[in-house]
Structure 1
Amino acid sequence: MKKTVLYITAHPLDPQSSYSLAVGKEFIDTYREANPEDEIVHLDLFNMDVPVVDADVLRGRHKLFEWRQSGSTTPFHEMLSEGERVKMEQIDKLCDQFIAADKYVIASPMWNLTIPHVLLNYTNCLVVPGKTYRYTNMGPVGLLNGKKSLHIQACGGVYTEGPTASIESGHAYIRTIMQFMGVTDNEKLFVEGMAQTPEKANIIKEEAIVKAKALAKQF
């Protein structure tokens, strides 16, 4: 059965200059060869207009909550200002695209211990009650069951083990937000230590590419 894969990249440079994108490209190329029937959609977040959660979005979400609670027959879009309407429509489009996909591959660097701002903006568009999760008497429950994700993250230091493992909050956030939305099959591939041991940077990248290709064949 044909699957849809969202390949989500969050780096302003190209694969020749970015470790995360270099490894991500090798993964996607290998995956495409192994699964020629699948559709791969590339979202280059640094070259997209991804809404931020600003006053328009907060007001739009509040109006949406009130509209649902009231049971009003007035079309929801008529309650919004032009700015609110445009941003809410953008968020809906991104969220619906994410829901429709079967697999997610995210390639990003870890900057200052966390993810780039464009990736945070994007995930803020995805966590929508009634779409990717719902509230129950037992708390929030994710709705995206049966999907899977891979996060390819490049780090200058080493964060999978040792004293710095506890402060890594890039992949930790991605894993948490995926689980919150119901995506419990989450894998990771770290490309790490290039700044810490620059003399080994190329070796580290090549070893990560080997792992990425192997992982792509069974993802």
Structure 2
Amino acid sequence: MSKLLYITANPKNCVKLSKGMQIGEVFLEEFQKVQPDVEIEQWHLYEMDIPEIDMDLLYARAKLSFMGYTKEQLSETERTKLEQMHALADRFIDADYYVFVTPLWNLGAPAILKSFMDCLFIAEKTFTNTENGPKGLLTDRKAIHIQTRGGIYSTRPMAEYEMGDRYLRKALEFLGLDLMDTVIAEGMDHFPRMLPEIMAKAKEQAVKAAREMAIENVHIE
């Protein structure tokens, strides 16, 4: 059975309060129409215990990568945090499809998303280093980002300042995932009277994207 991992990074963990999650719900509903047997697992990052790269994790990774330590030689705290990071990455790897729903905050994504993505960058698990540079190992998987923006960042003068969608796409591409075009709802704060129109357009894009993702079955060895 295929699995879709639905990941939200918004403290407003309520569909009624989150415009992004409203669009995300439309995506999920359409996806399930095409693939009714798909397993959908939802991760709300603000409700999860996401390990952060602190001093313990920095030293744990350094000790194992180039300082000659074994896992058994790590401190209990270092070992526990490292195991939490690997466990989260293993759960992520287990999916076939990924849907990220995030807002654009202060030019970037919520900080918790960066902490989450940091947990996925594990050499020889999600990427490997080759003679031609790093190569992502999470191939044959599809992902899409649904992003909400208060302002207009798809055109100048603000286009060059958008670093939320740009970061997530580059990070996922680095890991080997196949990225679909981002579904964007923007200008909601700048043009509140146009909110119904903005949401309708984004939901229409989400439906189209869900159909496209669902009909392209993926197979993971």
TM-score by length of 1: 0.91
For 1:31, the equivalent position in structure 2 comes to: 31
CA contact (8 A) 1:152 1:188 kept: yes
Cα offset, 1:202, TM superposition: 2.2
2:118 aligned with 1:124, yes or no?
A: yes
For 1:79, the equivalent position in structure 2 comes to: 73
1:104 partner amino acid: Y
Whole-angstrom distance in 1 between the partners of 2:15 and 2:85: 28
For 1:46, the equivalent position in structure 2 comes to: 46
Report the aligned-residue RMSD: 1.5
2:94 aligned with 1:100, yes or no?
A: yes
Whole-angstrom distance in 1 between the partners of 2:156 and 2:191: 15
2:187 partner amino acid: G
TM-score by length of 2: 0.91
2:4 aligned with 1:5, yes or no?
A: yes
CA contact (8 A) 2:97 2:141 kept: yes
Write the mapping of 1:8-19 to structure 2, written as runs, cut at 5 A: 8-13=7-12, 14-19=14-19
Cα offset, 1:184, TM superposition: 3.3
Whole-angstrom distance in 2 between the partners of 1:87 and 1:33: 39
The runs of 4+ residues in structure 1 deviating greater than 3 Å are none
1:215 partner amino acid: A
2:147 aligned with 1:148, yes or no?
A: no
> Structure 1 stretch 201-210 or stretch 163-172: which is displaced more?
201-210
Percent sequence identity over aligned pairs: 37
Whole-angstrom distance in 2 between the partners of 1:211 and 1:101: 23
Q: Which runs of 5+ in 1 are unaligned?
A: none
Cα offset, 1:214, TM superposition: 2.4
Q: Which runs of 5+ in 2 are unaligned?
A: 214-221
Please state whether the residue corresponding to 1:122 is helix, strand or coil.
helix
Cα offset, 1:145, TM superposition: 1.4
